[in-house]
Amino acid sequence: MKCKYYQKCGACLYDLGDYAASIKDKKAKLKRMFKEDFAFYAMDDPYHSRHKVTFSFYKDKGIIKSGLYAQNSRKVIAIKDCPLQSKTANALIASIDELANAFKLSVFDPLSRKGLLRHVQIRVASDDQKALLTFVLGEKIFPSSRNFIKELTKRHKEIVSIVFNYNFRHTAVVLGESDKVVYGKDSLEDKMGDLTFTISSRSFYQVNPKVAYKIYSDIVEDGNLSLDDKVLDAYTGTGTIASFIAKEVKEVIGIDNNPASIKNARLNASKNDIKNSRFIVGDALQALSDDYDAIIVDPPRSGLHEAFLNELIRRRPKKIIYVSCDPATFKRDLSKLKRYYRITKLKFYDQFVFSEHVEGLVILQCLDKGL
């Protein structure tokens, strides 16, 4: 499959016409970075695998368009029918652009801080049957919003929620501080395996659910957790990993500093009838203690904070399960952990197809504590 936006928009590093070549290059780069043997999981079909997208609005000769940023730039490249996004998201974007022009809406100007439309974030369920839309607005008043929503939802029955988010600042951060649900529910439900997850506009959830399911399944299969284990899931997000491992352990505690994510995590536990989990809003560092047999970490690209990593090593849990979205910080943290732990599994996943990024998983066993 070819992409007419290749080398224009900044979403893809590799030519979409040759998936095998992108995998070969990613493996080669990882082999240069990591001395250890590792496994690599690639998708059978990488196209239309992204289920979350954020498009930005701009005007071109008076016409409202939306798209993605060019590589290393704030210039927006108008995109239609992206081969990586879910087909549902592509159809929604086309309708939004059309209606924005039909309703003669304004576009936010970051210099004057005037104008309505800044971004639209679209989350689509794994089955492509449900969607949550978040419009990021630069003004409080959305002219004819009821008619706009009525027409959009008439065209797209898959929409289960529309949220208005207000961001009046001169910033590259997408979401502002306040939200208002203007249509449907405040969340989207997605099914992953036998589990159902509630996702809000602000909560963390993997963009590629098929690969995410593979990662979580591998944690269950290869984590060697036992029904005697008490587990801390740091950076828990909406509690996806905690929910997957709950049936394998005695108790799992999830912690995250995002209240919206913890709210969703608690709902997810209840929805899936999980009785042995608790979710707490707080700082992962403060949650570390000697009470845990295993600690799971899934940090942002910056990796583990130095203070957290040092305390994790000091506490020396029997097992560490580390999920990473950045090989460089993954290698940095792993180089310290290897002094006290042995690797029982190292695997990478093509979570972000055709981009430079990969997801990593390592399972570590403490050297002075047996299985």
pTM: predicted TM-score of the whole model, two decimal places? 0.91
Mean pLDDT per 10-residue run, the chain (371 residues)? 78 85 96 96 94 94 93 85 93 98 95 93 92 97 97 98 94 90 94 92 86 96 96 94 97 94 93 97 93 95 95 96 96 96 97 93 87 47
**Phi/psi at 143 (5° precision):** -60, 130
Per-residue confidence (pLDDT) for residue 371, from 0 to 100: 47
* Range 19-45+208-366 classified under CATH 2.60.120.260: no
H or E stretch at 217: helix 209-222
Q: How far apart are CA 122 and CA 56, in angstroms?
A: 11
Q: How far apart are CA 305 and CA 257, in angstroms?
A: 14
Per-residue confidence (pLDDT) for residue 244, from 0 to 100: 97
Per-residue confidence (pLDDT) for residue 203, from 0 to 100: 82
pLDDT in tens, 107-141: 998 888 899 999 999 999 998 889 999 999 999 99
Query: What residue spans define the domains of the chain?
Result: 19-45+208-366, 52-186
Q: Which residues contact 8 (CB under 8 A, 6 or more apart)?
A: 70, 77
Q: Which residues contact 296 (CB under 8 A, 6 or more apart)?
A: 219, 231, 232, 233, 234, 241, 242, 245, 320, 321, 322, 323
How crowded is residue 114: how many other Cβ atoms within 10 Å of its Cβ? 13
**Amino acid identity of 114?**
K
Q: Which CATH architecture has domain 52-186?
A: Beta Barrel (2.40)
C-beta pairs of 71-76 under 8 Å, 24+ apart in sequence: 71/9, 71/10, 72/10, 73/10, 74/172
Among positive and negative, which fits the CA dihedral 286, 316, 230, 37?
positive
Contact 281, 234 (CB under 8 A): no
Per-residue confidence (pLDDT) for residue 72, from 0 to 100: 75
Residue 325 annotated as catalytic: yes
Using left for φ > 0, alpha for ψ between -120 and 50, and beta otherwise, residue 184 falls in left
How crowded is residue 156: how many other Cβ atoms within 10 Å of its Cβ? 15
Q: How far apart are CA 364 and CA 37, in angstroms?
A: 14
Domain 19-45+208-366 and domain 52-186, same fold? Reply is no
Q: Which residues contact 130 (CB under 8 A, 6 or more apart)?
A: 124, 158, 160, 188, 189, 190
Per-residue confidence (pLDDT) for residue 370, from 0 to 100: 53
Q: Which residues contact 209 (CB under 8 A, 6 or more apart)?
A: 51, 126, 190, 192
Q: Which of 3, 82, 325, 366 is catalytic?
A: 325
